[in-house]
Amino acid sequence: MDEKESPQTILQFAPLNSSVDEGFWHSFSSLKLDKLGIDDSPISITGFYAPCSHPQVSNHLTLLSESLPSDDSIHGNRNKCPVPGILYNTNTVESFNKLDKQSLLKAEANKIWEDIQSGKALEDCALLSRFLVISFADLKKWSFRYWFAFPALVLDPPASLIELKPASEYFSTEEAESVSAACNDWRDSSATTDVPFFLVSISSDSKATIRHLKDFESRQGDDQKLLFGFYDPCHLPSNPGWPLRNYLALIRSRWNLESVCFFCYRESRGFADLNLSLVGQASLTLSSDGSAETVPNSVGWELNKGKRVPRSISLANSMDPTRLAVSACDLNLKLMRWRALPSLDLNVLSSVKCLLLGAGTLGCQVARTLMGWGIRNITFVDYGRVAMSNPVRQSLYTFEDCAGRGEFKAVAAVKSLNQIFPAVESSGVVMAIPMPGHPISSQEEESVLGDCNRLRDLVESHDAVFLLTDTRESRWLPSLLCANANKVAINAALGFDSYMVMRHGAGPTSLSDDMNKKDGQRLGCYFCNDVVAPQDSMTDRTLDQQCTVTRPGLAPIAGALAVELLVGVLQHPLGIYAKGDNSSSSNDDGSPLGILPHQIRGSISQFSQMTLLGQASNSCTACSETVVSEYRERGNSFILEVINHPTYLEDLTGLTELKKAANSFNLDWEDDDDIDDDDVAVDL
Amino acid sequence: MRRRVRENVRRLTEDGGGGRLMEDEAARFYFEKHLFVTTVSLQSPPERETERFRGLILLPPMDSVNDGKLSAEGFCVAARAFADKWKRHNQLLPPWSWIPLINRTLIVPNKEEGYLSLEKIILSSLEEEADSSEKEVSTDDTILKITEEECLDVTAEDLESIDHTILVQNVEKEAHYYDFNVVYSASYRVPVLYFRGYCSGGQPLSLDVIKEDLPSGSVGLLLESKWTFITQEEHPYLNRPWFKLHPCGTEEWIKLLSAAGCQIPVELYLVSWFSVVGQVVGLRIPHEMLN
């Protein structure tokens, strides 16, 4: 500050900086979308500023959400002195760039000049700090480009600085005390707290008085010192802030003073801080002709990090609804982890890829529950279309999906998931699953084998497979493929009022793993308990048998259980190798979610549910080593043979032999012939 | 006193329900440490003093907090008392202001509603942020890129380059500002600390950047502790996403404070509460406030 004290130094002003609160852009976006539309006429706005209150940081001119015009009148307070401004928002980035910035600035500077001349600026001194913003709001990307100007009338020749020092050094102790007290009163009174320009007069007995600018004439004569005070947003000890520029222009033009003593008011913790505040002496060169007609030149476009470029801000994180939905959903799961399940591994869930075979009542429920658990990657396979009867039971579809022939379920389900949660990664494959016992002609062979390959690829590219189709035989190939690729398979099936949900064990080839040697046993698959190979269950059936007629509450229950079972597997330290628990099992092997059963069967007619355990069978038509090896050796020709020759699988696995020998394989499920997919087994 | 606190912590740690909350070793340590500080200074004031205090704010005597929860009316009382104490004892930071709300509940028209706000706090000292401004530049791809020509066509036409009265400043180190709000949560019946950070130009700070500004211990502690964590949620009054310290555990640990032998008068609820949560965000409260 010392070097500035030599006479004839040009008085330099620290530029004002802008700060735009997030809330302003939020409010502006809604104003633009809901009300303005493409209307791009200028908007009157209100900026706010306050005296500097930090020794190292300047205050800013801030736009807040209440800066936009509204029905409520603006209330200033000590930290928010309102300043009038104008906003030119363009509809395109091109028109933003094409704006004539010099003319816009000049227009605002003219208003300031007129207000000085008319005396309006004496009545309402905030008019001296009038500002201007140009902007372009990209509401699709939630990013905003903007540029502030704080128009300043240029004194020609410039004011020179005689001296500048901290107010505490300038004033005597008594004066300092009195000035502080007067300033604090000014700032504490609601009538004056947001009046940023004022006169400080100090009488010969060191008493300071603060007055409005309009009282300049009335006070003259009786004071020893007169200082032109203003709220200084700048923190620098070496320079006054920007508002002094137009203040000096006013002082020179209105009162023709050659020597001006100015007081840069700054504060700490809401009180005048005279160490931070400055008092300076400037000398002005008066214009010879006192020309009020010629408007001075003006400057004032804000620099961005020292460069003459607009600023930009991206608010996608707080405005993009998709991002907000993601963080809100994550939060829910985090809460669960934090509150009840500290060891829950959410990353496993968000990264697991699920393949849903079937997008009917079960598929819809499973997909919804998966999303509830934060599972983001869901693929549907289904060949059907949404029929008129579907939407009331199949929770992803609406009436609109039935229009015309009906949308493919695999397509409609994906669309629906995206509507529910836009961050989901979902895809749909319209495809029929090749089934044993449904012979095909040689012309169809190629396409059916193509489907087999697609299904194989899908199983291999996912981590977990849900078997949710409405027939028993359509589950055979997926069961085999999962056993072959050692993927988690979850199977859910519905009867009229009973359901079955199970997880398949690991594939037979994984037996060499240490994990399995220990137990020596794998869990069974859907076909392990059967003594017949899957075959055509659809021909020769009445309509109510063909369509899965079930009590409507079943699918939500079974779908939810299927997902909970998968989550249990994913959270279990042994994963697919986890042994099957039953209700009386103690939960020592550490799944945070409790026991992990192999099968759950329930009946709504009894409102009962039980867990069951079944080991893998060596004669299983889907997951036995015999079948999996045969598939690996012969690939598609093996599958073709299965499809076309109903007895082939039974011969291969020795079931034909077995059936002759005994019927001891029957489980205690004679009563449960409502489980449609078990009908064949039970009917034996 | 200290022993009693320890025992309480242990009790809570070992029993089934509440124990889960505190089972984490780090959280327990943190807690014991703070409980000690807080409870020692929170010994119930002498009776006459308490009554005088109540008389001052012209309210019927309020119950002490035993269940860790606070009523909406209690929050208003506690908020006033907290802001008042803060103003008297905290010389370094600006005062909290009470933001009243236009009543939106038709059922109880005269019920007071509002929240506490402390704005534009610079948390980290400016000297420390040597290169953080560098990082800010490379923020987001979605920001409109400003091309060279756009910069040029402005320079050509304007007068500012020849105006010597404009102080040419070095590009200032970017200060990080923080706003804090203490909002009453009607569903948890406890106060909640909301906060957000932003650069001087207004660009919000991401949680990752904020974490760098927090006191060194906070982040690790929050990760491991069971008593709270930072989440982003819509501010209940401003309707924009803010960060907050989740209130799930608040009731439990406030209960722990009162179980430690000192009933917390409603007026001191926010003070005790803030003596713990404030530290997470680097706002320590002066010791005198606890007396």
My answer on whether A408 and A429 are in the same domain is yes
My answer on whether A280 and A194 are in the same domain is yes
Residue length, chain B? 291
Please determine, for residue A563, whether its predicted confidence score (pLDDT) is greater than 80. Answer: yes
Q: By residue range, what is the domain housing residue B130?
A: 2-290
Nearest residue on chain A to B172, alpha-carbon basis: A305
B66 shares contact with chain A (CB less than 8 Å): no
pLDDT at A440: 86
Nearest residue on chain A to B233, alpha-carbon basis: A328
- Classify residue A410 as left (phi > 0), alpha (psi -120 to 50) or beta: alpha
- Domain end marker among A277, A298, A319: A298
Q: What is the mean pLDDT of chain A?
A: 86
Q: By residue range, what is the domain housing residue A572?
A: 344-620
Measure the CA–CA gap between A661 and A619, rounded to whole angstroms.
14
Residue A549: inside a domain, yes or no? yes
Within 13 Å, how many C-alpha atoms sit on residue B150's CB side?
18
pLDDT at A455: 96
pLDDT at A539: 56
Please determine, for residue B133, whether its predicted confidence score (pLDDT) is greater than 80. Answer: no
pLDDT at A533: 63
Q: Which of A183-192, A386-395, B215-224 has the lowest mean pLDDT?
A: B215-224
B160 shares contact with chain A (CB less than 8 Å): yes
Measure the CA–CA gap between A533 and B5, rounded to whole angstroms.
68
Residue length, chain A? 684
Cβ neighbours of A63 in B, within 8 Å: 202
State how far residue A177 is from chain B, nearest Cα, in angstroms. 20
- Which has the higher per-residue pLDDT, B202 or B11? B202
My answer on whether A469 and A594 are in the same domain is yes
Exposed, middle or buried, A57 (CB in 10 Å: 0-12/13-18/19+)?
A: middle
b/e map A169-190, b = 16+ CB within 10 Å: ebbeeebbebbbebbeebbeee
CATH of the domain at A24: 3.40.140.70
Segment A606-631 mean pLDDT: 90
B188 shares contact with chain A (CB less than 8 Å): no
| Among B89, B133, B167, the residue to mutate for chain A (most A Cβ within 10 A) | B167
Residue B119 CB neighbours (<10 A): 13
Segment A201-217 mean pLDDT: 89
My answer on whether A284 and A390 are in the same domain is no
My answer on whether A541 and A607 are in the same domain is yes
Q: Taking CB atoms and an 8 Å limit, are B142 and A316 in contact across chains?
A: yes
Q: Taking CB atoms and an 8 Å limit, are A12 and B167 in contact across chains?
A: yes
Residue A226: inside a domain, yes or no? yes
Under the banding of pLDDT at 50, 70 and 90, the label for residue B156 is very low
Cβ neighbours of B92 in A, within 8 Å: 269
Under the banding of pLDDT at 50, 70 and 90, the label for residue A292 is low
B241-245 and B230-234 as β-strands: parallel, antiparallel, unpaired?
antiparallel
Under the banding of pLDDT at 50, 70 and 90, the label for residue B60 is very low
Q: Looking at residue A615, what DSSP letter applies?
A: B
My answer on whether A293 and A380 are in the same domain is no
State how far residue B209 is from chain A, nearest Cα, in angstroms. 14
Q: Taking CB atoms and an 8 Å limit, are B202 and A21 in contact across chains?
A: yes
Please name the member of A24, A297, A306 whose beta carbon is closest to the beta carbon of B159: A297
Q: Taking CB atoms and an 8 Å limit, are B119 and A26 in contact across chains?
A: no
Share of chain B above pLDDT 90, in %: 12
pLDDT at A81: 94
pLDDT tens per residue across span B96-110:
988 887 655 555 555
Segment A513-519 mean pLDDT: 50
Measure the CA–CA gap between A249 and A155, rounded to whole angstroms.
7
Residue A399: inside a domain, yes or no? yes
pLDDT at B28: 43
Segment A211-226 mean pLDDT: 79
My answer on whether A167 and A74 are in the same domain is no
- Domain end marker among A152, A171, A205: A152
| Block residue for tokens 């819509």 | B234
pLDDT tens per residue across span A237-289:
999 999 999 999 999 988 888 899 999 999 988 889 999 999 999 998 876 65
My answer on whether A147 and A168 are in the same domain is no
Strands (E), A186-290: 197-202, 208-211, 225-231, 259-265, 267-268, 271-272, 278-283
Measure the CA–CA gap between A271 and B95, rounded to whole angstroms.
12
Please name the member of B126, B167, B175 whose beta carbon is closest to the beta carbon of A13: B167
- Domain end marker among A126, A152, A178: A152
Q: Which of A262-271, A359-368, B123-132 has the lowest mean pLDDT?
A: B123-132
Q: What is the mean pLDDT of chain B?
A: 68
A488-494 and A464-467 as β-strands: parallel, antiparallel, unpaired?
parallel
pLDDT at A204: 85
pLDDT at B151: 47
My answer on whether A359 and A395 are in the same domain is yes
B154 shares contact with chain A (CB less than 8 Å): yes
Cβ neighbours of A23 in B, within 8 Å: 238, 240
Please determine, for residue B59, whether its predicted confidence score (pLDDT) is greater than 70. Answer: no
Please determine, for residue A6, whether its predicted confidence score (pLDDT) is greater than 70. Answer: no
Specify the number of domains making up chain A.
3
Residue A249: inside a domain, yes or no? yes
Residue A618, token pair as written in the block: 């060596």
For the ranges A320-329, A371-380, A431-440, B44-53, the one whose mean pLDDT is highest: A371-380
State how far residue B143 is from chain A, nearest Cα, in angstroms. 6
Size of interface A-B (CB pairs under 8 A): 152
Could you list the active site residues of B? 248
Q: Give the residues across from A496 on adjacent strands.
A: none
| Among B200, B244, B250, the residue to mutate for chain A (most A Cβ within 10 A) | B200
Q: Looking at residue A222, what DSSP letter applies?
A: S
Measure the CA–CA gap between B60 and B168, rounded to whole angstroms.
60
Cβ neighbours of A312 in B, within 8 Å: 143-144, 146
Residue A441: inside a domain, yes or no? yes
Please name the member of A101, A317, A338 whose beta carbon is closest to the beta carbon of B229: A338
Cβ neighbours of B18 in A, within 8 Å: none
pLDDT at B66: 67
Local structure of A129: helix, strand or coil = helix
My answer on whether A200 and A144 are in the same domain is no
State how far residue A613 is from chain B, nearest Cα, in angstroms. 31
Cβ neighbours of B142 in A, within 8 Å: 141-143, 314, 316
Q: Taking CB atoms and an 8 Å limit, are B206 and A317 in contact across chains?
A: yes
Please determine, for residue A487, whether its predicted confidence score (pLDDT) is greater than 60. Answer: yes
- Which has the higher per-residue pLDDT, B82 or A667? B82
Residue A94: inside a domain, yes or no? yes
| Block residue for tokens 């079937």 | A358
Residue A110: inside a domain, yes or no? yes
State how far residue A250 is from chain B, nearest Cα, in angstroms. 17
State how far residue B142 is from chain A, nearest Cα, in angstroms. 7
| Among A10, A141, A314, A341, the residue to mutate for chain B (most B Cβ within 10 A) | A314
Please determine, for residue B221, whether its predicted confidence score (pLDDT) is greater than 50. Answer: yes
Q: Taking CB atoms and an 8 Å limit, are B171 and A305 in contact across chains?
A: yes
pLDDT at A288: 62
Please determine, for residue B117, whether its predicted confidence score (pLDDT) is greater than 90. Answer: yes
Cβ neighbours of A12 in B, within 8 Å: 164-167
pLDDT tens per residue across span A300-322:
999 888 888 999 998 888 888 88
| DSSP letter for each residue of B121-185 | EE-S-GGG-SSHHHHHHT--TTSPPPPHHHHHHHHHH-SGGG-TTB--PPPPPPPEEEEEEEEEE
Q: Give the residues across from A410 on adjacent strands.
A: none
| Among B140, B161, B198, the residue to mutate for chain A (most A Cβ within 10 A) | B140
Please determine, for residue A558, whether its predicted confidence score (pLDDT) is greater than 70. Answer: yes
Please determine, for residue A4, whether its predicted confidence score (pLDDT) is greater than 70. Answer: no
| Block residue for tokens 């760098």 | B212
Closest to A266 in 3D by CA, of A49, A16, A53, A17:
A53
My answer on whether A530 and A576 are in the same domain is yes
Specify the number of domains making up chain B.
1
B26 shares contact with chain A (CB less than 8 Å): no
Measure the CA–CA gap between B22 and B19, rounded to whole angstroms.
5
Could you list the active site residues of A? 547
Under the banding of pLDDT at 50, 70 and 90, the label for residue A116 is very high
A197-202 and A160-166 as β-strands: parallel, antiparallel, unpaired?
unpaired
pLDDT at A169: 94
My answer on whether A142 and A40 are in the same domain is yes
Residue A664: inside a domain, yes or no? no
Segment B259-272 mean pLDDT: 79
Segment A478-494 mean pLDDT: 94
Measure the CA–CA gap between A508 and A124, rounded to whole angstroms.
87
Strands (E), A400-516: 425-430, 464-467, 488-494, 498-503
Nearest residue on chain B to A332, alpha-carbon basis: B231
Closest to A665 in 3D by CA, of A631, A625, A621, A627:
A621
Please name the member of B23, B170, B248 whose beta carbon is closest to the beta carbon of A339: B248
